[in-house]
Structure 1
């Protein structure tokens, strides 16, 4: 990570103290708080992490919410008058309080994710000085009204799902934003989505395109939150009107991983006994692994990571389950990975391992703020993957898989489609140059989207090249019969 610019001189911080809001100020805040309907549980990110460590993985959401509400009341950085609302990410008075000398975010230097020399300026470092400059070199819109520590006099509200993994992912994004904008406070708004509520049906059978995003986008549309953190693979390739992906963070390992039942520790899939049952609700994973390991059986398994691991460990139904390596790493469970599946064994899902920040497309303050989180390599790879998926009209109801690599200014994309049993498939690889210079010219195309992504700090020509790569590869597969393979797969899946 690029280093921060040195301070002009030594900083002396006054001792932390509790600041009590005046009755007048509370009177002004209550009408604003009362507008948030229906009420949504808002909990401190740091309090949640402390609570998970203290209580373990098996407790219910009701207990967690009660603990976090108590933590907010006892000084987790929250509002004293409203124990279910926290700001400043639970960092305490020193974080939540207004700082007199801000060091506004600046993207002034090439980031580690820059693609050759052409992407200089796509990453960046925080610069000194009050206010700073935005990722495109233009001055940032003033996000911090005088005397306040949020947008429009309130905290920046960050929407997320309630699961432990979603909260950890959101915490990581908020921490990055807090590093860039230390004068802002952040409030995390957690809610359940359709995908969280329907746990007895395979995702591919539900038929809803926005299983894990719809409720969050509804809150974004109603101005109940200012931005939403998603796993990018959960976001459809076509977003609802008025929304955009304002940031794609640096990608974690996108590969799939095998977690074995304790009695099978030390084995690999090829060493499991014949007829061993492997748990996965992904048609993509099942199709590829059925072809490579025909001696194994594959069965749906639903639930969050905690639930699926519990089903694996406490019962004899599964010999192993397949999960995303990125999720296991973020949860701190890397030690449970018994086997990493290489792209030769199993191509991964579009966007897997990347986090996305969705915002209102016309909210320039928030869009400019989150744009600093873009990782240029990840943006270009995911644009190509999403364009490939969109051209194929794929989704979780058909087996579509990818692998991307960016090296020496060349973007490589491998894409494949499969029948449900993996017996029929098409797989091809193409490449294109994305080594283009960044242009800092103002114009009508500043906020152009590429498969839902707005990335003003990544060269527009490089984004166009990445999108064209995905479209061209998909068109090649369609010309070879991919449409028939996917059509049959979709019909068979619906009939199951």
Structure 2
């Protein structure tokens, strides 16, 4: 194969992430020519409504997947946290890249850390997962809906006179903007989104030549970790618009530690469960089952009802 075409979203971060992937492919296959199709997704078009209200799975992936079905692109680069748990028929995640810092970060206007934000501070985020955990830790905070790409969100910190915003560390670091981070939030305070910090490479399952080509991008250690996290999400039947988080890390001797959370939208209830194990699917299932035993199903049903109201 001498030429291959990648599909990507148009945002500056998506293009930066895709270029990072392409550089790895060029290093592995110097003779390969790579074309690029920039595609606008539903999640990119609808910016005046919170993600949770837009609803539906695949907000940032569906149009890219359609391009693969149509044959206009051979593969797509996604942020794994945007990927629904169930894969569309005929498509597969062929590689999961080495993970960047999975944590959430606080960027505050005056350099205050989370615990030092003033009473009633206005904090911007588009994520129910983040707002639930931040409210659980600080019920006094006013959470302000914040949509758009990283550049837009950083601009809104000043324009809307917010005290702080919360973003994923990975995006800022990939853009070379790590110096903007005020504080990296520990998983004890804010469990990240499932798969946050990892990139997913998706292609047609039947396209064996492309699959073989892209397999060089796969990082087995990251794949094992995010499999545990995605198992929690799948078992709870959650999407990226529901207040669910899961964070797994290697603790040596081939063992993982996995923490999962489920919260009410207002943060008044926050369920948390941690377990260790070697098999990522068994571990993810165990954590999800324990959360369900604690009442996660009822909380998620209530959240879905509120979103659909």
| TM-score (structure 2 length as normaliser) | 0.97
For structure 2, list consecutive stretches of 5 or more residues without a partner in the other structure.
Answer: none
> Deviation at 1:481?
1.4
Give the Cα–Cα distance (whole angstroms) in 1 for the partners of residues 308 and 107 of structure 2: 29
Find the residue that maps to 2:57 and give its secondary structure.
coil
Aligned-residue Cα RMSD (Å) equals: 1.1
1:482 to 287, 296, 301: 296
Q: Aligned with 1:200: secondary structure?
A: coil
Map Cα deviations across residues 391-420 of structure 1 (whole Å, 9 max, x no partner): 000113321011111122101111111111
Map 1:24-39 → 2, pairs under 5 A: none
Tell me which residue corresponds to 1:205: 53
CA distance in 2, matches of 1:178, 1:216: 22
| Aligned equivalent of 1:227, options 68, 75, 78 | 75
* Alpha-carbon distance in 2 for matches of 1:353, 1:469: 21
Q: Which residue of 2 aligns with 1:466?
A: 280
The equivalent position to 1:415 in structure 2, one of 257, 260, 264, is: 260
CA deviations on 1:31-71 (whole Å, 9 max, x unpaired) are xxxxxxxxxxxxxxxxxxxxxxxxxxxxxxxxxxxxxxxxx
Structure 1 counterpart of 2:219, from 370, 375, 379: 375
Aligned residues: 308
Distance 1:370 1:477 in 2: 36
The aligned counterpart of 1:217 is: 65
Which of 142, 145, 168 matches 1:324?
168
Work out the CA distance in 2 between the residues paired with 1:258 and 1:269: 7
Structure with greater strand percent: 2
SS in 2 for 1:343: coil
CA contact (8 A) 2:124 2:146 kept: yes
Segments of 5+ residues of structure 1 without an aligned counterpart are 1-142, 144-149, 434-464
Give the corresponding residue for 1:395.
239
Tell me which protein shows more helix as a share of its residues. 2
Once residues 387 and 232 of structure 1 are traced to their aligned partners in structure 2, the CA distance between those partners, rounded to angstroms, is 13
Is the Cα–Cα contact under 8 Å of residues 104 and 166 in structure 2 kept in the other structure? yes
State the TM-score, normalized to the length of structure 1. 0.61
Distance 1:432 1:292 in 2: 28
Q: Residues of 2 paired with 1:365 and 1:310: CA distance?
A: 43
State the distance in 2 between where 1:482 and 1:272 align. Answer: 30
Contact 1:403 1:414 in 2 (8 A): yes
| Residue in 2 that maps onto 1:461 | none
Local SS of the residue matching 1:251: coil
| Shift of residue 477, structure 1, vs aligned partner | 1.5
Does the aligned pair in 2 maintain the 1:397–1:493 contact within 8 Å? no
Residue 174 in structure 1 maps to residue 22 in structure 2: yes
Higher Cα radius of gyration? 1
Q: Map 1:2-151; keep pairs closer than 5 Å.
A: 143=1, 150=2
